[in-house]
Chain A
Amino acid sequence: METKQSNETLPAVEKKGTVVEMALADTSQFVTFYYDKHFFGLPIDDVIEINRTLDVTPVPMAPEYVSGVVNLRGQILTAINLAARIGLFHDPAEQKEYNNVIMGNREEPVSLLVERIGDVMSIPTEKIEPPPDMIEGINLKYVDQVCKLDNKLLIILNSKALESAEENKNKNN
């Protein structure tokens, strides 16, 4: 997975320009989406596609963050609920309409369930900062970087952490 924006080249600059003005500068693109009041982004290279209509088949006894499985044109993907994954409150019983952000590696992509899809944003690399020490309700393990926008904070997620299954140590083999 190539993440172009490396941390070292990030002088934490405190500039408050608009995104559009700086489009010509060195930028990175992010697919953005919402969950509750939070605004998230994933590097565009980590996202395979966005799909609005996939039926989630629940998988009993699955880890809590797994909502089930979906059928993406014959390929069966694990559906991960973003909120449950990163530690936001969510009520599994609540029936919501979700959008699927298909992401990760092509061998085994996963579907990230989010509430609302936003735009694809180009963000100047220099505006991207390391995450603060704490973001309320979110496990920082899943946060790569952040970007302060005019009126909100874009939380750039770490796709590797999101898709990784390492928490289930007891593999089948």
Chain B
Amino acid sequence: MGMEDDILKDFLAESKENLELLDQQFVELEQDPENEELIKSIFRTIHTIKGTAGFFGFTTLEGIAHFAEDILSKLRDGIIKVNEDITTMLLQSVDYIKAILAELEATGKEPVDTEYLDFIVDLRNFSEKVAKGIAEADSGGQEEQAKEEAPAQEEAKAEGEQDKAEEAKEEKKAEEKPEEKAEKKAEEKEKPKEAPKPQAKKKAPARKPAPATAHLTESHVRIDVHLLDQLMTLAGELVLSRNRLTQLANQINDPELLTANQRMSLVVTELQEQIMKTRMQPIGNVFNKFPRIVRDLAKAAEKKVQLRIEGAETELDRSIIESIKDPLTHMVRNSIDHGIEPPDIRVQKEKPPVGTLTMKAYHEGGQVIIEIVDDGAGIDPDKLRKKAVEKGIITEEQAEALSDREALMLIFQPGFSTAEKVTNISGRGVGMDVVKTNIEKLGGTVELLSEVNVGTTIKIKIPLTLAIIPALIVTSMGQRYAIPQVNLVELVHLNPKLMERDVQKIGNSEFYRLRGEILPLIRLRNVLRLEESEEQQHEEGMNIVVLNAGGHLFGLVVDSISDSEEIVVKPLGSHLKHIPVFAGTTLMGDGRVALILDVVGITSSAAAGDDSMKHGTVVSTKTVEDDHQFLLLCTIAPEEYFALPLALVNRLDKIKATDLEFVGGKEVIQYRGHSMPIIRLENYLPISPLPDQDEYHLIVFHMNNKDIAFLVSQIDDSLDLAIDVEEGTFKQEGILGSAIIKDRTTLFLDVYQIISMHDPDFFTQEELFAEVPAKILLAEDSTFYRNMLSSYLTGAGYDVVQAEDGQKAWEIFQTEKFDLVITDIEMPRMNGFEFTRKIRNESNNKDVPIIAVTSLAGDENRQRGLEAGIDDYQAKLDREKVLQAVTRLLKEKALENAA
């Protein structure tokens, strides 16, 4: 109950403020009847009251607001013009609303009095009249009309009451708890229609609103956020002054002064903390209100909705929390009302009958992101286009010129509503435009992503004027930088000896062997171009901050690592916003500014700024980001260059020629207590042989629980590249294709194939080959990955058919029967999700197992994938996992068929 009370209190406080404003606005409106902004604003206030009243089941209040809104919407749409009658009626509505609110505040219940119901009837009749266009009657006409049309009115009243009563009953259905109350109310509503008291109407509101001035309880005080802002800033200043004073006190070194200063110091620190606290709240305070709201809404709409809340602990500035509440409610309402389908339709679409609505919040850079995700019907851009043209918001040509994405944004236009009918919950074309206005007021943005039948994601980004995040402070070239703790994995300090052993330089890039994994290193000073990347003087050790940038790890080398601190994120000015490396700024305890690093930005910037990559990079024009890979470049004989994905490599090492041994006709080496087979590539590929050297480089792979290594003469470089290889010229076993890297033709090694050529049994374990090899359709746009996947699948005994995009794959799929499908997600023409959906919905082989492969496994994609009907999700390079998944799914399928 506590939660409900809270909501009620908030609602009352807010409504009161708004209503005060309304009085003023109505008066203004009379002066300036053409003022659309004013009408819209009034409309929104009433709309909000109606909506909230609906949640609580305050039927009288809702009724009044409903009809008032009706009139207002006609004003807004320009169907009718403001006149005195209308204003009077609306002002009366406001008075009644105030009276009801006052009663609610006092007793928690709506007042039970026939005059309210009478008023609803009047209001309703008036609204109808207005609709019929009779409303232009002269100003004094109201009472006359009332007399003349008394009988008619009575009838209408009766109707109106019935409507109202029915509405009340509907709500009762939606509300489980206040059953009795609502019932009583509904009954009481039936009664008063026999005893209309037209005279009392006019005076009643004047009398009633008196209690509306009663005050809310004094437990909280509303404080202007600007005042808090100022307090905050001043507290910051105080800290600085304190610091200066402390320095002076230390110089003077007077024990009394020192004690006094110390004491002040403590108080100042606490003061600052407390002031900060006044402004920060977990977003959970808002999110927590939603389970109930969602439940009620779902009931009312006769839908089944499950709510998931993530990141409720994300702290947000209070002002933002307050302003975000209404927009969120609107959006949730929209999602349930228009997004999520009724259970029967969901079942038809092969979705679980219970829809899922996810609300999540997280910090990203200097922003808080709030997402509202539903798995409902999605929004059809074409429908929006049509609707927008119908409503005259845009012309037909404009509509055609809009991209789908832009078309989706139409939903934020005022007066735009896609709901086919206006319901109690939403759909007067108000919601989304209010949402956008409110969020833009906060300096934020709203993004809408939607896919028909898959769902809709609304992403709100709010820049933080004030958000506190834990961060690690590091130094580079004498400047401090803050790294958001979320990205932090671990810290490593290397002494010179360890550096020597574990840090490897390949070309211009450095790597560190972190427990056997190869970790690319990025030097902060290079990223920031603080120093031309000349060889730094002899270092005493190395500080590595291991960071997670959207799924892959890298090590950031900094000069020194200081403490971890809670920092206040402040945005960068418009002149500096475009620098990808920084996410914002913060003030340090001493009053100086430190820049906050954007970890993802660093990786992209490092890749772009790397000199080695500037000359003649391969990077293709159209490969999707998804296909970025760290590549290792090596040579065997001079002038012949090879590349392989670094992710496959377990270790890099150097060995002396004398360490090589021949055992049983195979070349091996004693490595970490085992004898490890060595592969010379020239034995399997038509390339020049490895020249004799004193020292060779080893590229060690760990696969299938065994170690095996390639012997090469030189490891040249490693690059983060979008891989786009050509097959053609160099197509042959063991080679996936070629590409021009740094102006040199480079062959891409098919590691799996080469190992299998060397030792056909290397990968075999309990993989059971069916008598007839299973037939797999492989859809993948990147030649490199397609060849690699195909190579190891074929190697494992499967019959693989390749397709270079989803469309092609779909065409092939219809002509043949496949036992399994492996598909990439990001592909031109038709992506993996669409392809999957096509298979699931349109083909005659609906239940074929589908594995999606990707180079970066993000949870978001995984979720979407599973929703689209993908059975499993694997990383492209992970041969073992992919093969396991294939075997497992094929087995399951076989069992199913057998059953």
Contact = CB atoms under 8 A, between A and B. Distances in A.
A66 to B, nearest CB: 5
A58 B479 contact: yes
B464 to A, nearest CB: 13
A73 B237 CA distance: 6
B233 A172 contact: no
A87 B876 CA distance: 52
Interface stretch (A74-82, A93-101, A115-123): A74-82
Contact of A110 (B573, B579, B605): B573
A57 B593 contact: yes
B575 A60 contact: no
A61 B529 contact: yes
Interface stretch (B326-334, B556-564, B584-592): B584-592
Contacts of B461: 173
A66 B587 contact: no
A59 B576 contact: yes
Contacts of A173: 445, 461
Nearest to B582: A59
Given A71-B592, A74-B236, A170 B578 contact: yes
B530 interface: yes
Nearest to B586: A76
Contact of A62 (B234, B479, B579, B591): B579
Nearest to B587: A71
Contacts of A62: 575-576, 579
A3 to B, nearest CB: 21
A73 B236 contact: yes
A141 to B, nearest CB: 16
A168 interface: yes
A57 B595 contact: yes
B581 interface: yes
B577 A168 contact: yes
B573 A60 contact: no
Nearest to A66: B575
B570 interface: yes
Contacts of A108: 573-574
A55 B595 CA distance: 14
Interface string A20-53: 0000000000000000000000000000000000
A149 B351 CA distance: 80
A11 interface: no
B577 A75 contact: no
Interface in B538-581: 570, 572-579, 581
Interface in B810-841: none
Contact of A78 (B234, B528, B576, B594): B576
Given A55-B592, A59-B595, A60-B529, A168 B578 contact: yes
B232 interface: yes
B578 A171 contact: yes
Interface in B327-362: none
Contacts of B579: 59, 61-62
Nearest to B583: A172
B528 A60 contact: yes
A70 interface: yes
B362 to A, nearest CB: 17
Nearest to A80: B575
A76 B570 contact: yes
Majority secondary structure of chain A interface residues (helix, strand, loop or mixed): loop
Question: Which has the most chain A C-beta neighbours within 10 Å: B529, B578, B587?
Answer: B578
A130 interface: no
Contact of A76 (B529, B573, B577): B573
Given A60-B529, A74-B237, A69 B578 contact: no
Nearest to A72: B233
Question: Which has the most chain B C-beta neighbours within 10 Å: A71, A75, A168?
Answer: A71
A98 B574 CA distance: 22
Contacts of A73: 233-234, 236-237
A63 B587 CA distance: 22
A35 to B, nearest CB: 19
Nearest to A169: B578
Contacts, number: 86
A165 to B, nearest CB: 4
B477 to A, nearest CB: 9
A162 to B, nearest CB: 11
A165 B591 contact: no
B233 A63 contact: no
A171 to B, nearest CB: 6
Contacts of B237: 73-74
B578 A172 contact: yes
Nearest to B574: A165
A103 to B, nearest CB: 13
A66 B576 contact: yes
B591 to A, nearest CB: 6
A56 to B, nearest CB: 9
Contacts of A110: 573, 575
Nearest to A60: B528
Given A61-B528, A73-B236, A78 B575 contact: yes
A172 B577 contact: yes
Nearest to A63: B575
Nearest to B609: A61
A58 B592 CA distance: 11
Nearest to B232: A74
Interface in A126-146: none
Given A59-B582, A60-B528, A60-B529, A76 B575 contact: no
Contacts of A60: 528-530, 581
Interface in B597-630: 605
Contacts of B594: 57
Contacts of A63: 575-576
A69 B529 contact: no
Given A60-B581, A61-B529, A62-B579, A78 B573 contact: yes
B573 A165 contact: yes
A171 B579 CA distance: 9
Given A108-B574, A168-B578, A76 B593 contact: yes
A110 to B, nearest CB: 7
Given A58-B479, A60-B529, A173-B445, A71 B591 contact: yes
Contacts of A78: 572-576
Contacts of A59: 576, 579, 582, 595
B409 to A, nearest CB: 14
Question: Which has the most chain B C-beta neighbours within 10 Å: A74, A77, A80?
Answer: A74
Interface string A147-172: 00000000000000000010010111
Nearest to B577: A172
A165 B573 CA distance: 9
B236 A77 contact: no
A77 to B, nearest CB: 7
Contacts of B605: 61
Nearest to B447: A173
A71 B595 CA distance: 12
Contacts of A58: 479
Given A59-B579, A61-B528, A108-B574, A69 B233 contact: no
Interface in B408-451: 445
Contact of A77 (B233, B573, B581, B592): B573
Given A61-B529, A172-B578, 18 more contacts: A55-B591, A57-B592, A58-B479, A61-B528, A62-B576, A62-B579, A68-B593, A69-B572, A69-B576, A73-B233, A73-B237, A74-B236, A75-B570, A76-B573, A78-B573, A78-B574, A170-B578, A171-B578
Interface of B: 232-234, 236-237, 445, 461, 479, 528-530, 570, 572-579, 581-582, 585, 587, 591-595, 605
29 contacts: A55-B591, A57-B592, A57-B593, A57-B595, A59-B579, A60-B530, A61-B529, A61-B579, A61-B581, A62-B575, A66-B575, A69-B573, A69-B576, A69-B585, A71-B593, A73-B234, A74-B234, A74-B237, A74-B587, A75-B570, A76-B587, A78-B574, A78-B576, A110-B573, A165-B574, A165-B575, A168-B578, A172-B577, A173-B445
* 3 nearest A-B residue pairs (beta carbon): A74-B233, A60-B528, A78-B573
